[in-house]
Amino acid sequence: MPDLTPEEIANDERAAWDEAWSGSLYEDAIAFITARSGQAEIAIELGGITPASRVLDVGCGPGILSESLAQMADSVEGIDFLETMIEQAKSRRSGASFQVADAEQLPVAAGDFDVAVCCYSSHHFVRPEKVYGELYRVLKPGGRVVVLHPIQAETATFGAIYQTLEEVLPAETVASFPSLAGPLFEVETPEPYLEMLSLCGFTDIVAEKRTKPCTLKNVEALISITARIGRVDAQSEEMRSALAEATAASSAQYRQDDGSYLFPDNIIVAKGVKP
């Protein structure tokens, strides 16, 4: 395989995202797991976000976290390199502002932000050291970078969803789902984040593993998310019963007495300060 230039790598990465997710599909299928299950509270706590804070949401997707943070901060700017994500984010009229940009090269002045948050985006960055170097540049002295990183092998929601899809879809279809993996994708311990943030100049670094539960209110919610992720027609009678059966098996251990599902997703949270 020929060596690719950084620009070619970035283009390939954007094209893979473009093919895999539009902003609205992402919001319907995944955002509940990545941005609506306690992430804003963690970002506020770790980032020390107050009504005076200027916040950058890095790889903001459809802008759900930005919307939550905008209720607390002075201002929130969401950036994402995918146009469909930014279109979806702008449509929420959330009080945050949004623009299409690559996190490796932000169209933002140095020292502009108090807090930069990477929520479920860091494991996709192709060159995370470039992104964290850039975040260092755009933070004020004393500014904080905050990372929420899902541990792939310990994210019970996605585990149950993909187990269901493996049962209802041909193996080659499941294998063809794009992985969109960056070098930090498989990280399972805090150490790589301690090293990465230190390498990029941050101090007072804290990185730790946390369990961050995700609740889905009933099996219907879970089936509809699974169907959207697998692009399968949950309206067809045959697919519906296959999904229902496989979902029951893959997620039985997380089912609560009231019919809801409580997934004990594990994440790494990290924070560093620009001196």
Residues that bind ligand SAM (CB under 6 A): 17, 31, 34-35, 59-61, 64-65, 80-82, 85, 102-104, 119-121, 124-125
Which is closer to ligand SAM, CB of 133 or CB of 239? 133
Smallest gap from residue 36 Cβ to ligand SAM (A): 8
Which is closer to ligand SAM, CB of 158 or CB of 261? 158
Smallest gap from residue 163 Cβ to ligand SAM (A): 20
Which is closer to ligand SAM, CB of 82 or CB of 216? 82
Which is closer to ligand SAM, CB of 31 or CB of 73? 31
Closest of 158, 253, 264, 263 to residue 209, by C-alpha: 264
β-pairing, 54-58 vs 113-119, is parallel
Smallest gap from residue 218 Cβ to ligand SAM (A): 22
Smallest gap from residue 254 Cβ to ligand SAM (A): 21
Smallest gap from residue 97 Cβ to ligand SAM (A): 15
Phi, psi of 103 (to 5 degrees): -65, -15
Which is closer to ligand SAM, CB of 5 or CB of 256? 5
Smallest gap from residue 236 Cβ to ligand SAM (A): 28
Q: How far apart are CA 181 and CA 125, in angstroms?
A: 8
Smallest gap from residue 128 Cβ to ligand SAM (A): 9
Which sign, positive or negative, has the C-alpha torsion 167, 168, 171, 175? negative
Burial (CB count within 10 angstroms: exposed 0-12, middle 13-18, buried 19+), residue 170:
exposed
Cβ pair 245, 223 in contact under 8 A = no
Which is closer to ligand SAM, CB of 184 or CB of 239? 184
Which is closer to ligand SAM, CB of 121 or CB of 164? 121
